Amino acid sequence: MSGTAADYLAQTLAQAGVKRIYGVVGDSLNGFTDALRRRKEIDWIHMRHEEGAAFAAGAEAHLTGELAVCAGSCGPGNLHLINGLFDCQRSGVPVLAIAAHIPSSEIGIDYFQSTHPESLFKECSHYVELVSNPAMLPQVLQRAMRVAVARRGVAVVVIPGDVALSKLDAKPPHWLLPAPPVVLPAATEIDQLAALLNGAERVALFCGAGCAGAHAEIMQLAHTLQAPIVHTLRGKEHLEYDNPYDVGMTGLVGFASGYKAMKRCDTLLILGADFPYRQFFPEQAKIAQIDLRPEALGNRCPLTLGLLGGVKDTLDALLPKLAVKSDSSFLHSAQEDYVTARKDLDSLAELDESTRTIHPQAVTRLVSELAADDAIFTCDVGTPIAWTARYLKVNGKRRIVGSFNHGSMANAMLHAIGAQVSHPDRQVISFSGDGGFSMMMGEFVTLLQLGLPVKIILLNNGTLGFVEMEMKANGFLDTGCDLHNPNFAAMAESMGIKGIRVEQPGELESAIREALAHDGPALVDVVSARQELIMPPTTTAEEAGKFGLFMLKAVMDGRAAELIDLAKVNLLR
């Protein structure tokens, strides 16, 4: 079949089932975007920034499990992809990036917009290769696609604009992408794990995103072992629902009950989780781990036993070898701790219409209650993550997307775009912070341009809230955190997007209902409490001392009024 390398690229992606490509057009991409235009099989999703394109592709890949694609033109264009691609790589979602390049004859002599993308993308991808000759494209492209899908991460194809326009007589092979493999540990290792668990008295399960699709097996395991289940934030959407063994999360945004269950167990079984905070793991317990990724095994804590395998398939092999435990005292104790922790958290999410203060906990709780049963939620890094973790209810149909591993600001609206484009019939809600939203506010126009009915719940507290809390917790005066924001609702209205401003607690529920019912994009600008604290599951004397040091510095700096506000918002409730 005679055509150009760009034609081959478009045909191969279409044959692989790619439905859309997120990006910003540019001269070095012209051959490729024109090939897409002529074939009419793949939609070009016109973004305002390449970083948004990569995040949007990542959300699609997270929700579908299938290959998603983004593209950037030469130099600054594909360079803008990098932050979003880091997020995709660290989230373990299959994304292919097409990085157009300067003319091949000009590489290496400081040409206009010259970079070396084959070097730049190495750290955020499993595979990156420069196509310097059109004959290379079939093998490089096919390998990149296979690697992205099989290794659950990013692959990058770098192609100069002139190479994309060169003749290439080739057609895609029939088979392109591998199916997920079944990975099982050796039978002897499963026997060792069964013996370890059968000999334990107080088993706790710690479950992450690798537990997707294994809900039934994990419930059976918890029942057999009489084990409480602690989950990570990424594990929330897969495990928190229909789960009588759930005792919440641990970690910086977790619950005291999850923290206690892990610290008090004598045996911890980690399932599909690579939780980064070492201080929350038990010091004395025996620890076993099951994970598909060899690099995750023993990555955070010393293991008694590590098994390389998929969670669902490994548990299927393990369960028949386990003895049913009758002593449920450890489980009941953990469940009682959870009831207490949950009651305390829920009390903070009540609306008090006698004050002007709108607490973000109440915002998230109301959205959770009013949203569709199968809504897709995205949340910004920072305080929105904490409220999502603690107050958003899941049910097995709802999905949650966030920058939970990479921790990038401004992800929520960008992820929401990819979620809505790939799931046009689902309700998509972005929990955005004012810092994150304003950082990538250009993509707000993308909602209008593409006609995407994304609902943005914007927590407008006038500060980089999580950073401010980190500073205070470490004894520093918060510096450089203030955000002098516009009326975001009025801004939205001026752009042709529905905007609702909420300044009083009594206005909140009706505003959320109105936004969710609106047939089109909508933004709810919630003027919320600035001084809201996120209390971790446990605090040390050292941490309390550092916070006390902040208060002393604040008084000496003439900022005692802030301490009064802090007390009003958090203590007088």
Q: Is 407 annotated for ligand binding?
A: yes
Q: Is 346 annotated as a binding residue?
A: no
Tokens of 499: 């905007």
Residue 121 identity (one-letter amino acid): F
Question: If you ran DSSP here, which 8-state letter would residue 83 be given?
Answer: H
Q: Tell whether residue 183 is among the known ligand binding residues.
A: no
The conformation of residue 366, written as its DSSP 8-state character, comes to: H
Please report which confidence band the pLDDT of residue 549 belongs to, taking 50, 70 and 90 as the band edges.
very low
| pTM (2 d.p.) | 0.91
Q: What is the pLDDT of residue 473?
A: 72
- Helix (H) / strand (E) containing 21: strand 20-23
User: Does the annotation list 467 as a binding residue?
Assistant: yes
CA–CA distance, 477 with 472 (Å, rounded to integer) = 6
User: Is residue 548 a known part of a binding site?
Assistant: no
What is the distance between the alpha carbons of residues 350 and 369, in angstroms, rounded to a whole number? 13
- Domain 350-571 belongs to what architecture? 3-Layer(aba) Sandwich (3.40)
Which residues are paired to 527 by β-bridges? 460
pLDDT at 531: 61
pLDDT tens per residue across span 202-260: 999 999 999 999 999 999 999 999 999 999 999 999 999 999 999 999 887 888 899 99
402 labelled binding-site residue? no
- The alpha carbon dihedral of 465, 466, 470, 471 has a sign of negative
Asked whether the beta carbons of 23 and 49 are under 8 A apart, the reply is: no
Confirm or deny that 466 is annotated as ligand binding.
Answer: yes
Architecture per CATH, domain 187-340, reads as: 3-Layer(aba) Sandwich (3.40)
Residues classed as catalytic: 50, 112-113, 381, 466
551 assigned ligand-binding residue? no
Q: Interhelix angle for 560-570 vs 541-556, to 10°?
A: 130
Distance, in Å, from the CA atom of 192 to the CA atom of 531, rounded to the nearest integer, reads 50
Average pLDDT, the chain: 91
How confident is the model over 121-154, as pLDDT tens digits? Answer: 999 999 999 999 999 999 999 999 999 999 999 9
Number of alpha carbons in the 13 Å side-chain half-sphere of residue 568: 13
Q: How far are the Cα atoms of 202, 274, 293, 306 from residue 299, in angstroms, in the given order?
A: 23, 7, 11, 11
pLDDT in tens, 85-108: 999 999 999 999 999 999 998 999
Residue 50 annotated as part of some ligand binding site = yes
Is the pLDDT at 354 greater than 80? The verdict is no
Terminal CA-CA length for the chain: 72
The residue ranking higher by pLDDT, 559 or 76, is 76
The amino acid sitting at 434 is D
Question: Does the annotation flag 464 for ligand binding?
Answer: yes
Q: What is the pLDDT of residue 353?
A: 77
Q: What is the mean pLDDT of residues 47-67?
A: 98
| Amino acid in the structure at residue 488 | F
Helix 137-150 to helix 5-15 angle (10° resolution) is 30
Task: Tell whether residue 436 is among the known ligand binding residues.
Answer: yes
Return the exposure string of 372-387: e unless at least 16 CB atoms fall within 10 Å of the residue's CB, then b.
eeebbbbbbbbbbbbb
- Count, in order, helices (H) and strands (E) of the chain: 24, 18
In the numeric block, which tokens belong to residue 457?
């719940």
In the chain, where are the structural domains located?
A: 5-165, 187-340, 350-571
Output DSSP code: residue 339: H
Q: Per the annotation, does 119 bind a ligand?
A: no
CATH ID of 5-165, from 3.40.50.970, 3.40.50.1010, 3.20.20.70, 3.30.460.40: 3.40.50.970
CA 445 vs CA 289, 425, 493, 497: distances in Å: 45, 21, 12, 9
What Cα–Cα distance (Å) separates residue 320 from each residue in 133, 176, 224, 310? Answer: 55, 37, 10, 17
